[in-house]
Structure 1
Amino acid sequence: MVNNIVYIPPVKDCSYIDIDANMAVHINNAFTNKNVFRISDSLKEEELPLLTYDFKSKKWLTGRYIGKLFFNYNNQEYCFEVIPRFGNAAVMQLLEEIFNIKLAHSKSKSNLENKVHNELIKKLISIIWVKQLSKANVHGLPKNIVKRKHKGQTVKGRINIRKSVLPLYNENLLVSNSIEKQIDPIIISILHKAHKILAKDYFLSQNMLTDGVKEVINSAAGYKNKTITKNQYQSIKYGSMYANYKAIVDFSWQIIQRKNNNISQEQSKDTNDALFLDMAEIWESYLMTILRKKYSIGGWRVYSSKFNIYRNKDFSRGLIPDIILEKDNKVVVLDAKYKRMTTNYRDYDREDFFQIHTYGAFMQSQNKKVLGLGLIYPLLENFDQPQLERNFSKTLFGDSSSESWFKVDGIKLTESIEELRIQKEAFLSRFQTNLSMYYLA
């Protein structure tokens, strides 16, 4: 019989912890990557454990996920919690930038300590869903054009002369065709199902709904039993008027998928509840968002893409740079790294350096002019000017004739809204200096 929950002291992400080896192994066995809520379906997923063992330090190390795992171990229920090393408010601010919404900062610190199973993250997901849907519903629900055929003594739309000949002669009836607009059944079904899950499992209450969201929910009442397949979801077409619905539909699909993934795990004897956010995904989405906002209006395409290399070979692979800025066949390639960066030599990961330089070589093989490459980290402290200079090379590989730069840079994450804004603008200013110098060259 399981007794009261034992709360293991919270640990920060990407940090060393002292924990019994058997307990650590059990935590990894109780955790699955299906417990991670993805804020986007466009970023690559990786199968990673909650804890890894660092043989050099002989300690266990937390990864990039934040959240809570409730599990049973030796007839006792435990809670293992990973908290953000930069603070809850910093995470809130990154999510605000990504989704272009405002979250309640006054509650962000205290809510994380609530003992209810994963209440903070679940409420956060609900709030994001409501605010995104409210913004998307500016022009009403997305509608499709549907052609109707009418047979009768009256005409609806245009008469179909060819098909009216026999009915008119035999039955004294006319055949006419009309065009109508109807609410997209796939979109409204996805939104309805997501709302149902949020209301049941994510602490979404009626008083959290805006009038616009209530209107959508009421309109969805007739679609509550419709089952949606992955193919139907992927085949959704968004007209220009309703393009802003794509983000909320994608977000709703992630909610539905997590519910489906949890069905099998609910039968587990080891895991009672688990929900995590991937800070690496949030960091990458944040960088993509601020760069896209700044440079899209200047004609830059800011994107991520998968490039398949060595096709039809046994050693075929896929290259997936996190962020590419492209204009006039000139590119900058960046990799977002949610790791510790203190400018200590050990913080510079050998594999990361090889990876980003491989991306650069590939883009050159595609006849792109590579302006620069960069690894971008979240920082606990500022890079001072000497550190910035030591982390920037005017040419690839240092002493070379390359016309591409390479940099390691980052943004200091802070719980202060104003300070984070200053840090973000300082990073963008440095990036613009590098970009202008080499783009105009």
Structure 2
Amino acid sequence: MLKDCSQIDINQFAKTYFGGTAKNKIDQAINWLQRLGDYNLNNNDVLRYTNASREMEPIVYCDCKGTWWTGRYVGAIFFDGISLDIAPRFPFSFFVDNFPINNFIPIDTKKSIKQEKSMEGTVLELMLAIQWVNLLVNASKHALPVVQKKKTHIKSAIVGRLDVRATLKQRVVDGSKVVSTSFSKDINNPITQVIVLAYYEIQKWFPSHDVMHWMPEVTAARLQKMIDATPRRTKAPNHQEIKSAKLMPIAREYRSVARLSKDVLNRKNLSEHQSHSTNKTMLIDVAELWEAYVFNVLKQVTPENLNVKNGTSASQNYLLKSEEKTLGKLIPDYLILDRNKSQNDDDALIVADAKYKRIGDAPWMSPKRDDLYQMSAYLNNFTHANSGFLFYPKWDDDLSEIVKQNPWQFNNGKELSFIQLPINLDDAITFLNKNAITPSTHTQN
């Protein structure tokens, strides 16, 4: 099983996905990896949960020695006829505990994980459930998924609007009757049905939780009305029935929920083969998750006299300036400022970055020269900052020799410390409380 930021065993990869380890199979595997490495990810390929802009990196890549590696993404890929999963190096509990699902979905790791399922399968189900809930929240802001139904009445009295042409024909048969039409709003329709059935399916994935509690009250209330209107033994509508349902204009956003709901019911979550003409990915950027996790830890351990905030695009620090233009905007992941003084970013006392890398693990071993140059530029431009920190995951009990030598000093006297942060929140908080981040304390014991 592939894992993020890990070496790919070409022989095993060729055997698993191309049917053998003969030279032609190895060549096919390498050729496929090269094409996947050249694939340009876009925002639709990666499930984003922050507004921060982030440069996309290759899903896989080859180092200078010819060794293939996975990048920083986990999830599922269907590319050029091959379907594969990339599992996380982190424990799955880290994902569940720290995934900021629109800030309103509380998931208890111990209750949510179904142990009999494979780790990567649960990750994919979680991603699919998150996407489904987010689409439903967006669609349900203003209305229920009602359709207009036209009903024809042949009676002695007009119901709704008179149908003149039909009435003239009716008069030939029965002169006492008129034909009229009325329109009603019907919530029990193919769109509602497929959404409700998808909800039941997602609920099976997390049997210890009420998925309804993952949603804002308005969304949960509207979903409950949809459930009440849908008979329990309703069969899943087919594609044509869903397509022909005429939603009211205000409810059109439900179509995207219906499409994803159909995927949920059909289990088309990328672990199954799709059309060979379709390339599709559903990925999480672990580096983005790590950045959010570090920020959460820092907020809980920063002393009361200091304030930690995300780096902001409002910063006016640039690497280069000419008379008319600027180049190379400097935006650290985190800035720490004195609460009793100016909160202008330029007055930051400490600058820090989160690095989803592992010290001593080639080819993504740290510290990278680029990262050192980056921190040097930050400390040079944030003139009040004398301390910088780089936060790496602490994958195991080994403490890097680089970390043991903290703090490191630049020629101008400013300091840089490398921190291996535990990936359990409580452990990370305990660790940083013992090693307080202040301008005068930089060592890691």
Answer yes or no: same fold by TM over 0.5: yes
Identity %: 20
Rounded Cα–Cα distance in structure 2 between residues aligned with 1:326 and 1:219: 44
- Superposed CA deviations along residues 316-357 of structure 1, whole A, max 9, x for unmatched, are 232221111111344211111001224889532000000111
Query: In the alignment, residue 359 of structure 1 is paired with which amino acid?
Result: Y
Rounded Cα–Cα distance in structure 2 between residues aligned with 1:427 and 1:89: 21
Rounded Cα–Cα distance in structure 1 between residues aligned with 2:41 and 2:434: 40
* 1:426 aligns to 2:431 (yes or no): yes
Shift of 1:314: 6.4
Asked if the contact 1:30–1:270 (Cα under 8 Å) also holds between the matched residues in 2, the reply is no
3-state DSSP of counterpart to 1:408 = strand
Cα distance change on mapping 1:118 and 1:430 into 2, 3 Å: same
Shift of 1:271: 3.3
1:52 aligns with one of 61, 82, 86 = 61
Give unmatched runs, 5+ long, in structure 1.
1-9, 134-140, 143-192, 230-254, 260-266
Cα distance change on mapping 1:425 and 1:114 into 2, 3 Å: closer
Rounded Cα–Cα distance in structure 2 between residues aligned with 1:224 and 1:210: 27
| Residue matched to 2:69 | 61
Rounded Cα–Cα distance in structure 1 between residues aligned with 2:93 and 2:39: 29
Cα distance change on mapping 1:53 and 1:198 into 2, 3 Å: farther
Rounded Cα–Cα distance in structure 2 between residues aligned with 1:116 and 1:292: 29
Asked if the contact 1:30–1:71 (Cα under 8 Å) also holds between the matched residues in 2, the reply is no
Asked if the contact 1:68–1:118 (Cα under 8 Å) also holds between the matched residues in 2, the reply is yes
| Residue matched to 1:334 | 352
Shift of 1:384: 4.3
If each structure's helix is expressed as a fraction of its own residues, which one has the higher value?
A: 1
Query: In the alignment, residue 89 of structure 1 is paired with which amino acid?
Result: S
Rounded Cα–Cα distance in structure 2 between residues aligned with 1:203 and 1:302: 40
3-state DSSP of counterpart to 2:382 = helix
Cα distance change on mapping 1:288 and 1:217 into 2, 3 Å: same
Rounded Cα–Cα distance in structure 1 between residues aligned with 2:214 and 2:90: 35
Asked if the contact 2:101–2:130 (Cα under 8 Å) also holds between the matched residues in 1, the reply is no
Matches within 5 A, 1:241-280: 269-271=276-278, 273-280=280-287
3-state DSSP of counterpart to 2:302 = helix
Rounded Cα–Cα distance in structure 2 between residues aligned with 1:108 and 1:268: 30
3-state DSSP of counterpart to 2:34 = helix
* 1:408 aligns to 2:418 (yes or no): yes
Cα distance change on mapping 1:340 and 1:128 into 2, 3 Å: farther
Rounded Cα–Cα distance in structure 2 between residues aligned with 1:360 and 1:45: 22
- Superposed CA deviations along residues 120-166 of structure 1, whole A, max 9, x for unmatched, are 42235567999xx8xxxxxxx99xxxxxxxxxxxxxxxxxxxxxxxx
2:109 aligns with one of 81, 104, 107 = 104
Shift of 1:208: 1.6
Rounded Cα–Cα distance in structure 2 between residues aligned with 1:408 and 1:340: 11
Asked if the contact 1:35–1:275 (Cα under 8 Å) also holds between the matched residues in 2, the reply is yes
* 1:293 aligns to 2:300 (yes or no): yes
Rounded Cα–Cα distance in structure 1 between residues aligned with 2:349 and 2:54: 25
Rounded Cα–Cα distance in structure 1 between residues aligned with 2:212 and 2:377: 48
- Superposed CA deviations along residues 47-89 of structure 1, whole A, max 9, x for unmatched, are 211011101x31111111000112343xxxx222111112212
* 1:391 aligns to 2:432 (yes or no): no
Quick check: which has more Rg, 1 or 2? Answer: 2
Rounded Cα–Cα distance in structure 1 between residues aligned with 2:426 and 2:50: 24
Give unmatched runs, 5+ long, in structure 2.
11-28, 143-190, 205-209, 226-246, 261-273, 342-346
Rounded Cα–Cα distance in structure 2 between residues aligned with 1:361 and 1:340: 26
* 1:353 aligns to 2:372 (yes or no): yes
RMSD: 4.6
Cα distance change on mapping 1:388 and 1:79 into 2, 3 Å: same
TM-score by length of structure 2 reads 0.58
Query: In the alignment, residue 331 of structure 1 is paired with which amino acid?
Result: L
Cα distance change on mapping 1:211 and 1:388 into 2, 3 Å: closer
Rounded Cα–Cα distance in structure 2 between residues aligned with 1:129 and 1:286: 25
Matches within 5 A, 1:283-322: 283-295=290-302, 297-306=304-313, 307=315, 309=318, 310=321, 316-322=327-333
Shift of 1:18: 3.1
Matches within 5 A, 1:72-221: 72-73=80-81, 78-95=82-99, 99=103, 101-106=106-111, 107=113, 110-112=116-118, 118-124=124-130, 204-205=202-203, 208-210=211-213, 213=216, 215-218=218-221
Asked if the contact 1:97–1:289 (Cα under 8 Å) also holds between the matched residues in 2, the reply is no
| Residue matched to 1:149 | none
- Superposed CA deviations along residues 268-291 of structure 1, whole A, max 9, x for unmatched, are 854354211110000001111221
Rounded Cα–Cα distance in structure 1 between residues aligned with 2:307 and 2:68: 42
- Superposed CA deviations along residues 394-438 of structure 1, whole A, max 9, x for unmatched, are xx31xx452x3210112133xxx6xx5224421343243x44559
Q: With a CA cutoff of 8 Å and minimum separation of 6, indicate the structure with the bigger relative contact order.
A: 1
Rounded Cα–Cα distance in structure 2 between residues aligned with 1:212 and 1:276: 22
3-state DSSP of counterpart to 1:93 = helix
Cα distance change on mapping 1:117 and 1:203 into 2, 3 Å: farther
Cα distance change on mapping 1:409 and 1:437 into 2, 3 Å: closer
3-state DSSP of counterpart to 1:25 = helix
| Residue matched to 1:163 | none
Shift of 1:117: 10
Cα distance change on mapping 1:287 and 1:200 into 2, 3 Å: same
- Superposed CA deviations along residues 337-388 of structure 1, whole A, max 9, x for unmatched, are 0012248895320000001111111111xxxx11310111112124549764
